[in-house]
Amino acid sequence: MAKITDAVDPGNAGGSVLIPEIPTEPNRPLTFKCNKCGEVFTDREARRQHIFDQHPFKRPQLLVGSRMVKERGEVVASPFPPADWVIQQAERIVIDQQEVSSRQACRRLSEITSGFHEVTLTSADYSVTYHIEFDIPTEAQLATVERVFNTLIVNQPLESDRIAQFITVAKQEDGARYYLEGVSDFLYGVLAKDQRGGTSLGPDDYSAKYHAAREALRFLNRPLANLIKALVNFNDNAFNEAVALAPGGQVAIACQVMNGLRSGKHCSAPDTRIASDHSLPVDTLTAEIMRFCSLPLAEQQEQLPQLVHLASKRLTTDHDRVKIQALAMNTCWEAGDHEEATHWTKKLRHSPLFEALATRIIEDVENE
């Protein structure tokens, strides 16, 4: 029986093929042509620079309240006057299949309060369609959320069941949807972070809940919404953003203290104790850190060991641990215990947030 492989062409094994000669045109200079205006350049970089200068890429943009609108998933949950809507680089504007002028578009967008709407912006090079949901609550719907919150959450022990009850009642009474979502996500986050109040969430779930809360409340300019956004930013160690939203009192002081330490400044403690002035439930570590910031120096010194002890606990997040270390470093420095302050600088020398202050303290100690 003949072997099957005998019938198979083995290809060029052992043979060779010709490489076709590559045609060359030695005298023809290489040029780079702009495909927009036809201008010719002798090198690629010159053409790139020309396109950059002469034909900027014109992608239309829609902005509201000086932020870019997302093409998908954007929810407008608070009213904006026509001047807050900005349309850039669009030659043609279509809202819900109707072509409008830029002026008309901004007026129309400021008037819509509910439903899904489509905005298409077209320039010479590009067309962008935005799918925007409008869910702008009335003052009454916003007030309902706050009223139910005051009744069921303020000055009550925070528990999972109670948050569920808050949601049910606020929904029944037609409370503003995103406001309710933001507040309840934050509260669920508090329980998750502390692992208390009958939460079914894990300790790591708090951060998703906090961020969902900040997202839902993004456009809401109400004291409670701003306080929650400030606390989420504080929790994330985004102190600059936290300072801008903090209402005053303990929250504002803590945000300012941490922001000051971040920018490399020593912070002196308040002369007198600042009382807590908010009744929004917060997680234990945030509450402890804020309380500590509002104490006079003598009390800070006295209570520092307890705060430091909290930092070593298993549930303490990295964000909170580094805040506590920075406070410890500052308190020791302010109290004149430079040896102990130097000990803390070692932990913070490579922290992206507090290295400026750590380095400064190291230098000050060396120069003494």
Contact residues: Zn ion, CB under 5 A: 34, 36-37, 39
* Residue number, 39 or 135, with CB nearest to Zn ion: 39
Rounded-to-integer distance, Cα 88 and Cα 59, Å: 8
Which is it for the CA torsion 283, 271, 277, 137, positive or negative? negative
* Residue number, 37 or 124, with CB nearest to Zn ion: 37
Rounded to a whole number of angstroms, the minimum distance from the CB of residue 125 to Zn ion is: 13
Rounded to a whole number of angstroms, the minimum distance from the CB of residue 237 to Zn ion is: 47
* Residue number, 37 or 140, with CB nearest to Zn ion: 37
Rounded to a whole number of angstroms, the minimum distance from the CB of residue 175 to Zn ion is: 56
Residue 147 class from Cβ within 10 Å (0-12 exposed, 13-18 middle, 19+ buried)? middle
Cβ neighbours of residue 197 under 8 Å, at least 6 residues apart?
157, 158, 159, 160, 162, 191
Rounded to a whole number of angstroms, the minimum distance from the CB of residue 53 to Zn ion is: 9
| Helix (H) or strand (E) run with residue 117 in it | strand 114-122
* Residue number, 34 or 100, with CB nearest to Zn ion: 34
* Residue number, 34 or 128, with CB nearest to Zn ion: 34
Which is it for the CA torsion 258, 263, 266, 269, positive or negative? negative
What values do phi and psi take at 75, rounded to 5? -120, 125
Residue 260 contacts residue 245 (beta carbons within 8 Å): no
Rounded to a whole number of angstroms, the minimum distance from the CB of residue 47 to Zn ion is: 8
* Residue number, 56 or 198, with CB nearest to Zn ion: 56
Q: How many CB atoms lie within 10 A of CB 26?
A: 4
Rounded to a whole number of angstroms, the minimum distance from the CB of residue 90 to Zn ion is: 22
